[in-house]
């Protein structure tokens, strides 16, 4: 009986948090279209998120390209299909691996940073001070950050895909003496419009989810320094789970569209 009550309590807490997140999302859309627009803060946040994540995304993408090619090449050689390596790697990275891995990296790098930053402002009562002074903290802190992640994650995904393909090319160049032009000609000959567009569209949703959850966890942070750490940690965990759900829905929707 006690265990059942605990499960019921966790379920109620989960449903309540989903409801609060839904209300938080609706408030974002209302505030996003109201004047005045915080363009300077939006540009500052976009620059900080994009510029500070470039190196991490580049290293991650480069290693993904190297590992994927090194792991797949021996298998393709057994079947005499090593010439298909550029096509296979290109489709794998652009369709799925690139957007998903980049989004997960950014969830850890950007999402936790947003949760900790806004959470510390909540704990130190800076948000309350902004409300008292007549400033709209939701528009200044939340709307700008969510819009910045929504705009920057697709750009980071494209950058990460390019670096990953270059890493794959280096392996092919060393192992099979494949030229740069030949490798990327095969990659772009294989990629179609239907491969690039869905991956780009879902990366916008990835960015929105990262910014939304990070801001939500930080904005409703518990009091004390422990609350800031909890907000940053839960932002990463919740965002990662949400990214997998969004990815599943996107793949399922694309599959249904292709069948029609």
What is the residue extent of each domain of the chain? 38-259
List, in order, residues 6 or more apart from 252 with CB less than 8 Å away. none
Q: What is the pTM of this model?
A: 0.90
**How many helices and strands in the chain, by DSSP H and E?**
11, 0
Percent of the chain at pLDDT > 90 equals: 32
Which comes out higher in pLDDT, residue 223 or 204? Answer: 204
* Residue 86 confidence (pLDDT) above 80: yes
Main-chain dihedrals φ then ψ at residue 36, nearest 5 degrees: -85, 160
Which one, of 94, 110, 125, lies nearest residue 48 by Cα? 110
158 has pLDDT over 90:
yes
Query: Which range in 15-24, 99-108, 132-141, 192-201 is most confidently predicted, on average pLDDT?
Result: 99-108
pLDDT of residue 63 exceeding 80, the answer is yes
Residue 100 has a pLDDT of 92
CA distance linking residue 17 with residue 40, whole number of Å:
32
For residue 124, the model assigns a pLDDT of 85
- What is the DSSP-derived secondary structure letter of residue 197? H
Place of tokens 């499960």: 7
Residues in the chain: 260
CA 123 to chain centre: 26
Does pLDDT of 251 surpass 90?
A: no
The pLDDT-based confidence of 153 (bands split at 50, 70, 90) is very high
Radius of gyration for the alpha carbons in the chain, expressed in angstroms and rounded: 21
- Contact assessment for residue 73 and residue 175, using Cβ atoms and an 8 Å cutoff: yes
Question: Is the Cβ–Cβ distance between 164 and 93 less than 8 Å?
Answer: yes
C-alpha–C-alpha distance, residues 209 and 212, integer Å? 5
222 pLDDT band, cuts 50/70/90, is: confident
Cα–Cα distance for residue pair 112/154, rounded to 1 Å: 19
- Judged by average pLDDT, the poorest of 137-141, 173-177, 224-228 is 224-228
């Amino acid at each position: 009986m006690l265990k059942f009550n605990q499960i019921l309590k966790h379920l109620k807490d989960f449903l309540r948090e989903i409801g609060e997140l839904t209300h938080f999302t609706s408030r974002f859309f209302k505030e996003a279209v109201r004047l005045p627009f915080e363009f300077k803060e939006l540009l500052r946040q976009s620059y900080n998120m994009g510029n500070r994540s470039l190196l991490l995304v580049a290293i991650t993408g480069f290693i993904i390209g190297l590992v994927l090619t090194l792991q797949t090449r021996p298998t393709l050689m057994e079947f005499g299909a090593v010439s298909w390596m550029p096509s296979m790697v290109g489709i794998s990275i652009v369709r799925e691996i690139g957007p998903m891995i980049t989004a997960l990296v950014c969830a850890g790098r950007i999402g936790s940073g947003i949760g900790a930053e806004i959470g510390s402002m909540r704990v130190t009562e800076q948000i309350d001070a902004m409300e008292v002074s007549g400033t709209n903290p939701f528009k200044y802190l939340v709307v700008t950050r969510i819009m910045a992640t929504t705009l920057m994650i697709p750009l980071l995904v494209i950058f990460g895909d390019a670096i990953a393909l270059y890493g794959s090319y280096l392996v092919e160049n060393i192992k099979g003496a494949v030229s740069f032009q030949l490798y990327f000609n095969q990659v772009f000959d294989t990629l179609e419009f239907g491969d690039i567009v869905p991956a780009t569209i879902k990366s916008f949703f990835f960015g929105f989810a990262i910014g939304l959850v990070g801001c939500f966890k930080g904005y409703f942070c518990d009091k004390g320094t422990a609350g800031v750490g909890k907000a940053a940690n839960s932002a990463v965990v919740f965002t990662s789970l949400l990214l997998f759900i969004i990815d599943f829905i996107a793949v399922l929707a694309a599959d249904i569209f292709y069948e029609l």
